[in-house]
Amino acid sequence: MAASMRKILADMGEDPNRDGLLKSPERYARAMLFLTKGYHENVWDIAKNAIFDVDHNEIVVVRDIEVFSMCEHHLIPFMGKVHIGYIPNGQVLGLSKLARIAEVYARRLQIQERLTEQIAQAVDQILKPQGVVVVIESAHMCMVMRGIQKTSAVTTTSCRTGIFRKDKAAEEQFQFLLKLRH
């Protein structure tokens, strides 16, 4: 990766041997490996020791989970917040594991639509709850730094499973809980 980045720098018209860029290809390679570490992580391994039997059938919401990802179309970052809700069906998941699941999928080359679905499907498969809803709000640097250059544009995506697809009251309860602030 570092060798490829040296060539890219040269192709851009830069001197990869100048003082400020001498170690940049190696730094870039380490950064890319970190930003895409989700390819080497498994949500089942993260969740397996944090599933608890609980007699609770009301909605659980963890909101404002910060995520950073890389747009697969431009290899430029996007960042935002993930909101995850589910209605248990006899089991709950340790709250931090919801954030860790979001992180696994965000640390891959992504599009926001797929990221939203992957998080919802993972929670659905792990817990088999009555339903899952995931909403992501993100700013995409490919829209901010290049192309259309709209600095305040926010993209919102959602994915619903189970009861959240069928029961309007469940969806409204999720939306109500999202609007609550401290």
- In CATH, what number is assigned to the domain containing residue 24? 1.10.286.10
2 and 54 within one domain: no
Please check whether residue 164 is in contact with residue 133, taking contact to mean a CB–CB distance below 8 angstroms. yes
Q: Strands 91-93 and 109-110, how do they pair?
A: unpaired
The DSSP line for 102-167 is HHHHHTSEE-HHHHHHHHHHHHHHHH--SEEEEEEEEEEHHHHTSTT--TT--EEEEEE-THHHH-
The answer to whether residue 42 sits within a structural domain is: no
61 and 18 within one domain: no
What are phi and psi for residue 116, nearest 5 degrees? -60, -45
pLDDT at residue 182, rounded to an integer: 55
Distance CA 146, CA 148 (A): 6
Strand partners, 169: none
Pick from 110, 32, 97: nearest CA to 65? 97
161 and 89 within one domain: yes
User: Which amino acid belongs to residue 154?
Assistant: V
14 and 69 within one domain: no
156 and 83 within one domain: yes
Token couple for 102: 């979001």
pLDDT at residue 148, rounded to an integer: 87
The answer to whether residue 43 sits within a structural domain is: no
Distance CA 147, CA 155 (A): 16
pLDDT at residue 76, rounded to an integer: 94
For the chain, the domain total comes to 2
* Domain carrying residue 9: 1-36
pLDDT at residue 21, rounded to an integer: 97
Note down pLDDT in tens along the chain; length 182 residues: 999 999 999 999 999 999 999 999 999 999 999 999 999 999 999 999 999 999 999 999 999 999 999 999 999 999 999 999 999 999 999 999 999 999 999 999 999 999 999 999 999 999 999 999 999 999 999 999 988 888 899 999 999 999 999 999 999 999 999 998 75
126 and 61 within one domain: yes
123 and 170 within one domain: yes
Angle at 99 between CA 97 and CA 100, to 5 degrees: 60
